[in-house]
A and B are shown apart, each in its own frame.
Chain A
Amino acid sequence: MKVLTKKNIMILIAIVITYVVVQVLISTGIIDSFYEITIATICINIILAVSLNLVTGFTGQFSLGHAGFMSIGAYVCAIINLQMNSTTGLLIGIVSGAISAAVVGIIIGIPTLRLKGDYLAIATLGMAEIIRVIFLNMEITNGAAGLNGIPRFTNWLWLFFFTTASILLINNFINSSQGRACISIREDEIAAEAMGINTTRYKVMAFAVGAFFAGVAGALYSSYFYFIKPNIFGFQKSVDILVIVVLGGMGSVTGSVIAAILLAVLTTFLQSYSEVRMIVYALLLVVIMLFRPQGLMGTKEISDMFKFGKKSSKVK
């Protein structure tokens, strides 16, 4: 009906160009294997940040347990991939990892999403720790030593495909009626209920969708870095993701993407100054938060900038 609008064609062209340019740079060796890792980190972080943004930025539910869902995706995918050493195995692994994470998200979300603010943050933090400890003690996950030698089928094509798909799908969700229901919870829960929105249902829905995509990111992580252990998915990882979301702007998909790229580039760049690396990183965060407390993008999206001047609010 309206699939081939001017805007969608532009987006498609931009996607293809990004893919081709990076692919050419990799093939010609301009982007070496070191920078390729940075690119993989960017892609995985984008998926993580955008999915957490859906929960924290759009639905307003402060979660500190995103790494927990990531680890579920990573382990499920790794275990399946170790059994089925093929790209089909990877695909099955990613899908099952994501679905497992979403199911756990629903199970955990139903009791914890009754809580608000700080209490929810602590509950989700605890839940991520529980998941980590379970992986630490299970036989199939090989405990603290972790899983090694996971077949590495993930390359730029896989990363790019799943990152773009995640962004587009989450963006579609946010701009649907269900997505607006989630946003209304952030704005005013009592008013949302009075307008006929089952707030518990949509909180759990956002949580499950967020967990699903965190699972995708985890699955890609395990496949690309071919080694996972429980400690990778600790509290620190959850905070890293949250930093990206807050820095980019709570409630802006574009912001999360930009912040994920910016922070990864910054980390890579600072690697040559290892002594001052963390100081500069932390200082930059403080400065940005002081001058842009709403994050780089606030709640704006890149599409808002293009339609500046148009008055009507159209279906995105």
Chain B
Amino acid sequence: MSLLSVEKLTKSFGGLTAVSNVNMYVEKGELVGLIGPNGAGKTTLFNLLTGVYVPTTGSIKLDLNGSVKELGGLKPYNVTKAGLARTFQNIRLFKDLTVMDNIRIAMHQNIDYKLPAAFLRFNKFYKEEERMLEEADKLLDIFHLSNKKGELAKNLPYGEQRHLEIIRALATKPSILLLDEPAAGMNPNETKNLTDTIAQIRKEFDLTVMLIEHDMSLVMKICERIYVLDYGMMIASGIPSEVRANKRVIEAYLGEDVSDASNKKS
């Protein structure tokens, strides 16, 4: 079984079916892209995977070394606990907290001290806090943000905020990382930087990555497999070169060929 398998997943909001009968799978270690025109349902699909929405029908299964877990209907924090971490399309950092605090909050689910230790400062408290700081330092080192750890998140430049979101997601120790438009609003230089970072974290953390992206050059370059959504339906999937040549994908992005359309009518 694949690491993540989605079967017949559907989500409707009243009369609107935002995601319709979607099947997909992600293998361990893969880098999978999810593309589609605006309003195709990509973020809705991400929200279903991460527990923000409850699926109308269908199942999402996570298989971690043989122990299979159904994610559909779980609360977001339980999905994160199960091993799926995400970033947001419009950055959602804890703006008024420091970089270090942003990371430490994400580490909360893995701490090993309870409320009494927090109040009374048992030895365990200091040990765990120390461990957290060390781990956070390691993460910051990888992204060359060590010198910024005391800064408020809102004061970071845009590109670094995007990076911090990724670090924060990594701090939850996920098996799968979901990136929602990580390159949105970045200039070519920053995008290049991001590409390198993604490659690096995959190697270093033995991570499976799934990303939504509009920057086609980025998607085609780094994704091993691509899924294409349109009007909530999965219209194509495969390796980048296949997807690029797929007629339905081209139609979804550029509209139907006029001559084709008129031919059909007649």
Contacts and interface: CB of A to CB of B under 8 A. Distances in A.
Contact of B133 (A180, A190, A198, A315): A315
Nearest to A310: B150
B130 to A, nearest CB: 7
Interface stretch (A69-77, A130-138, A171-179): A171-179
Interface in B71-117: 75-77, 80-81, 85-86, 88, 92-98, 100-101, 104-109, 111, 113, 115, 117
A180 B108 contact: yes
Interface in A92-137: none
B149 interface: yes
A315 B130 contact: yes
A196 B149 contact: no
Interface in B154-184: 168-169, 171-172
B111 A177 contact: yes
Contacts of A315: 126, 129-130, 133
B92 A196 contact: no
Interface residues of B, number: 50
Interface string B218-233: 0000000000000000
Contacts of A1: 123, 126-127
B196 to A, nearest CB: 25
Contacts of A192: 94, 105
Among B94, B115, B147: residue with most chain A CB under 10 A: B94
Contact of A195 (B80, B123, B147): B80
A169 B120 CA distance: 7
Contacts of A148: none
A172 to B, nearest CB: 5
Interface in A278-315: 299, 311-313, 315
Nearest to B107: A177
B26 interface: no
Given A180-B104, A313-B150, A169 B75 contact: no
B256 interface: no
A275 interface: no
A187 B105 CA distance: 11
A190 B92 contact: yes
B96 A187 contact: yes
- Main secondary structure, interface of A, reads helix
A191 interface: yes
B50 A194 contact: yes
A183 B94 CA distance: 9
B96 A195 contact: no
A181 B80 CA distance: 15
A138 to B, nearest CB: 32
- In the A-B complex, the 5 residue pairs with the smallest Cβ-Cβ separation, listed nearest first, are A176-B118, A196-B109, A196-B80, A187-B94, A193-B76
Interface of A: 1-3, 169, 172-173, 176-181, 183-184, 187-188, 190-199, 205, 299, 311-313, 315
Given A176-B117, A313-B150, A315-B130, 12 more contacts: A172-B120, A173-B118, A181-B105, A184-B97, A187-B97, A188-B93, A190-B52, A190-B92, A195-B77, A195-B85, A312-B149, A313-B149
19 contacts: A172-B119, A172-B121, A173-B118, A176-B119, A176-B125, A177-B111, A177-B118, A178-B108, A181-B105, A190-B52, A190-B76, A191-B94, A192-B105, A195-B168, A195-B169, A196-B109, A197-B108, A199-B77, A313-B98
